[in-house]
Chain A
Amino acid sequence: MDSALLIHRLHFAFTVTFHYLFPQLTMGLAPLIVILKTLALRTGDERYAQAARFWARIFGINFVIGVVTGIPMEFQFGTNWSHFSRFAGGVIGQTLAMEGMFAFFLESAFLGLFLYGEKRLSPKAHWWSALAVFLGSWLSGFFIVATDAWMQNPVGYEKAADGSVQLTSFWELILNPWAWWQYAHNMCGALITGTFVMASVGAFYLLWEKFEDHGRIFLRVGVTVGLVATIIQLFPTGDGQGRLLAHKQPTTLAAMEALFESSNAAPLVLIGQPDIPQRKIDNPLVLPGMLSFLTYRRWEAEVRGLNAFPPDTWPDNVPLLYYSYHIMVGLGTIFIAVMVVAAIQLWRRALFHSRWVLWVLLLCLPFPYIANTAGWITAEIGRQPWLVYGLMRTADGYSKMVSAGNGLFTLLGFMGMYMVLGILFLFLIRREIENGPVAEVTTPHHEGVATAH
């Protein structure tokens, strides 16, 4: 591989992977904070307001890192992928510019009010500011996903005389079916991160025997919403996304499953290691016919394997694609199991005393991040070797004027900078969690509002 191409790919991959650790919590927490604020408004119970304020502090720290690591993403289209920008800017410039106009202005204007304006606003007005931040962050997510969706499934464009693509239909771009499935799946993934983080902190407080009232609130909200989110993540959103992929990117599907031979009863591989030179899977553990069924709803449906496609259209890193996809699906399945068990315990009013479930919830914290990251790796590695599916190869899209040396210089700079940001983030979040939702605590052992339904 051309070394400049490799550096530019790593540059984007590294910065976007690090960046997305933060927006997924922003987008996941925002609706949960609205729920807490709603509960506070309706019950008048101060503990819900304290809970909302606590999460707003976490949200604030998280948001700042999300913003400062997000600005480079927009810039990098031009700095590191200028040939792609010139080629596709006439189309994806629309969604990226709309993100700024409709989402960022909304989000930034009301974030200030939400974080610093509680004393200046009435409780209702403050609730509206929380809602505006939620809408802003989710709108932002839509425009980014719509941009990626166009790269996965280009629609509403025509080739211009100078070789670039130009928009012909705004609505096709916005109503791209890929965008809506991917958006639903992605936002649900963010919600899973938010609910697991909230439940995890709640479990921590109960196990610690501090801030227990608030811990119970976190657990109730986190587990209830988390149960819904984890299930929707599998069906219908994951299922719909997968079937669209099978239709539009059959090569990608075959590579995700490391299916080499086309088959009339394609198996679903649970575990196994793809061996690309030999074109087989080592140590496979499979469910026979399952892939055919999941993809086409028929056990005997034909699924085309990688051998049916020319190797120069295969994703260029099949093992990474295969693993990231399997990690995503495997973790998603585990999340459903965890949330179902926790929800049953909550319903039986046993969750707050089931130490083992609390431990599981506590230790689950990093895994939604891994699953979301693996999901995006699946989407982006799966699209290879295309930058815009079927229209432009990744190898043609990077900035030819920026040498590998200059690219490596800034990649190393970002690595150093992000290491500092990451350490700072963990330190500050740990401090907020240890300080807890209220300044002075006398752990009351009465059964407060948090357990009364």
Chain B
Amino acid sequence: MPTVWFVIVSVMIAAYVVLDGFDLGAGILYLWAARNVNERRKVLHSIGPVWDGNEVWLLAAGGTLYFAYPQLYASAFSGFYLPLMMVLWLLMLRGIGIELRVHVGNPVWQGFFDVVFCFSSALLAIFFGAALGNVIRGVPLNAEGYFFEPLWTNFKLGPNPGILDWYTVMAGVVALVTLTAHGALYVRVKTDGELADRCQSLALGIWPVQLLLTLVSLAATWFVRPSIRENYLDYPIGFLIPVVVFGSLVVMLLATRRGREKQAFLASCVYITGMLVGAVFALYPVILPASTDPALNLTIRNAAAGPHGLRVGLMWWIPGMLIALGYFVFVYRMFRGKVQLEGGHY
């Protein structure tokens, strides 16, 4: 049963990254790609009806994590105290940047909200990448299963790492680049004209960087956590994951070049999912590795909630998920097609 919830939480986090990822990406490229008022409105319209729903995946994943692994929730959230609080502040700035901009109704302040939206989106991408980096690298768990990390120490790996070291900073950059490309491909799908062209060339320009960073991050992870090899060697089917990752990168490039916008965006979705699945596959059954002593690792067993609760949870999670998927299909269908500005909200 703990394995079931491990898969569920992983799927929800992946859904969050893929979905909120494109609206974060749209925010990152916002100032650069959208150069006049109408283009900015187009970008906002492309994510406007869906960004809040996408962000709910973070809340739902967080809630499910809390429910299934209370020990992990308690430990990770208090240990990552400072960066999490900053993530919260950034989420706030970003939410009001998107939604309240239109209500301000003055071009000076709208320009300010534009910058807030872009800046908070970019920082969030970096923070989320760094967070994932921390989970893969491991944290200094004590015997009670708790830890507290300062923002940085000496930027080196070791028994007393900070939130930011060279590895997690790299993970943050990977996330920033990946989500920028993801957002560009999304906006490319949803808009036309110069804005779409600029997104296309942005995605093409970023592609080599993305390829390079993918290779670097795989090598770095191999070096930082040698134990990730075990799952791959025990279950060689796992080697399909890097194949999928690189395959999707190639498809992304080809589809973008040929103007197959939807295919390119889907390839980016697959790429992100592949990267996350690769990390999760390597971690299992550990959910928060200890950098201090592997015996202190939090695993799906020692961090899980009671068996009755986990069984009951499945009874409401499955229908809840089906209903939620129904909403998403419905909403995305309602707002399908290229963005039209006439009568729009933003």
Contacts and interface: CB of A to CB of B under 8 A. Distances in A.
B77 A85 contact: yes
Contacts of A410: 81-82, 85
Interface in B37-87: 48-50, 52-53, 55-56, 58-64, 66-68, 70-71, 73-82, 84-85
Nearest to A116: B345
Interface in A314-333: none
B327 interface: yes
Contacts of A402: 78, 81, 148
Size category, A interface: 35 or more
B328 interface: yes
A111 B53 CA distance: 9
Interface stretch (A65-73, A236-244, A250-258): A65-73
B287 to A, nearest CB: 14
B316 A167 contact: no
Given A90-B305, A100-B63, A406 B92 contact: no
B87 to A, nearest CB: 8
B312 interface: yes
B81 A89 contact: no
Contacts of B96: 64-65, 68, 421, 424
A115 B346 CA distance: 11
Nearest to A65: B96
Nearest to B66: A93
A428 B67 contact: no
A121 B330 CA distance: 12
B81 A104 contact: no
Nearest to B62: A74
Interface string A142-164: 00000000000000000010001
B309 interface: yes
A82 B78 contact: yes
Contacts of A100: 56, 59-64
Contact of B63 (A91, A99, A170, A413): A99
A37 interface: no
B341 interface: no
Main secondary structure of the interface of A (DSSP, over half): helix
Contacts, number: 222
Interface in B144-164: 146-148
B193 to A, nearest CB: 21
Interface stretch (B27-35, B97-105, B289-297): B97-105
Interface string B315-340: 11100110110011011001100000
A417 B89 contact: yes
B88 interface: yes
B59 A71 contact: yes
Contacts of B50: 112
Interface residues of B, number: 67
Contacts of B148: 401-403, 406
B308 interface: yes
A347 interface: no
B95 interface: yes
Interface string A82-125: 11011011110110111111101110111111011101110000
A116 B344 contact: yes
Given A94-B312, A97-B63, A413-B89, A78 B77 contact: yes
A94 B67 contact: yes
A409 B58 CA distance: 25
B313 interface: yes
A367 B105 CA distance: 30
A83 B74 contact: yes
B343 interface: yes
A421 B100 CA distance: 11
Interface in A359-412: 399-403, 406, 409-410
The 4 closest A-B pairs by CB, nearest first: A89-B70, A78-B77, A166-B306, A93-B67
12 contacts: A68-B91, A77-B73, A77-B77, A78-B76, A79-B81, A98-B63, A100-B59, A110-B331, A166-B305, A166-B306, A402-B78, A428-B100
Interface of A: 57, 60-61, 64-65, 67-69, 71-72, 74-75, 77-80, 82-83, 85-86, 88-91, 93-94, 96-102, 104-106, 108-113, 115-117, 119-121, 160, 164, 166-168, 170, 399-403, 406, 409-410, 413, 417, 421, 424, 428, 431-432
